[in-house]
Amino acid sequence: MNVLGLVQLCEVAQPSGGYSHSFHVEQLAQRGRLTTAEQLLHFLRNVLHVAIAPADGIASGIAFRAARSGEFEHIPMVCAAMSSGVLPTEMRLASLQMGQRLWALSRSWDWASAVHSQLDPMAADADLHHAVAFGTLVSEATNSQVRAIAAYLFNTARNIVLTAIRVIPLEERLGQRVLSEVQPVIAELAQKCVDKRPADILVLPKSSSGDDSMDTLLS
C-alpha cells in the first residue's frame, strides 16, 4: 500500500477554499437544529447511510475497480450515471468542481502519473465527479476496494465534521470524537458498496438539497 500517497490524496481531496457540499450543516447550525456533538454524530451516521454511500460510495468503488483492472472505458459510464439526475443540482455542481480540482492537482504527483496517462484524454470529455476522481487515484495507493471506498467515505465525513466545528462551533476534540465514533458505520457501508454497478447508484430525491430533508436526518 502506498501510505504516503493515500495520505496526500486524502489531504488534497479536502475542498479547501473551493465549492463543496456539506449537506447544509451551516443552515442547520444557524437555525439551532445542530448544536452538539451528539446531534452531529446522529446526523453524520444518517447522511452516510441515506446520501453519501448510495451514490458517491458506490461510484468511488466502480472507479477504483476500473482503474485497478485497466478497464478505463468504464469510467465515462459511471461519470454519466452521476450526471444523469442521480444527484440534486447543488450536489452535482459541487461534485464536478471538486473532482476537476482534485484531478488537476494530482497531475503533479509522480505516483499518479500512470493513471493520468491512461485517463487524461477521457477526463477532458467526461463529467469527472469527485468520487470518480478519488476512486481512480486511490487505486494507485491501495489494492483493497473496501479500503478505497472507506477512504472516500471517511474523507467526506471529515469535511462535514470540519464544517460543523467551524459553524456550530464545536471544540476540535469533540469533532475528532465524532469522526472516531462514526468509523464503524463507514466500515460497514464500505463493505456494502463493493462490486456494485452504475445501475446500483441510487437516485437521491431532489428535496435532499433542501433544509427540510436535512432536518429529517436529525430526528
Domains and CATH numbers, the chain: 34-216 (1.10.4190.10)
Whether the per-residue pLDDT at 37 is higher than 90: the answer is: yes
The number of angstroms, rounded, from the C-alpha of 203 to the middle of its chain's C-alpha atoms is: 16
Are residues 129 and 52 in contact, defined by beta-carbon separation less than 8 angstroms? no
Predicted pLDDT of residue 139: 97
Whether the per-residue pLDDT at 43 is higher than 90: the answer is: yes
The pLDDT of 137-150, averaged and rounded, is 97
Are residues 211 and 24 in contact, defined by beta-carbon separation less than 8 angstroms? yes
Query: Which candidate, 108, 82, 99, places its Cα nearest to that of 135?
Result: 99
| Average predicted confidence (pLDDT) for the chain | 89
- Distance, CA of 172 to CA of 17 (rounded, Å): 20
Lowest mean pLDDT among 61-65, 164-168, 214-218: 214-218
Lowest mean pLDDT among 51-65, 119-133, 160-174, 199-213: 199-213
Predicted pLDDT of residue 15: 61
Q: CB-based burial of residue 178 (10 Å sphere; 0-12 exposed, 13-18 middle, 19+ buried)? A: buried
pLDDT band at 136 (very low <50, low <70, confident <90, very high): very high
Whether the per-residue pLDDT at 65 is higher than 90: the answer is: yes
Max mean pLDDT among 17-21, 89-93, 129-133 falls in 129-133
Predicted pLDDT of residue 17: 42
**Residue written as grid cell 486524502:** 10
Percent of the chain with pLDDT over 90: 74
Whether the per-residue pLDDT at 18 is higher than 50: the answer is: no
Q: Which residue has the higher pLDDT, 73 or 197?
A: 197
The pLDDT of 207-215, averaged and rounded, is 51
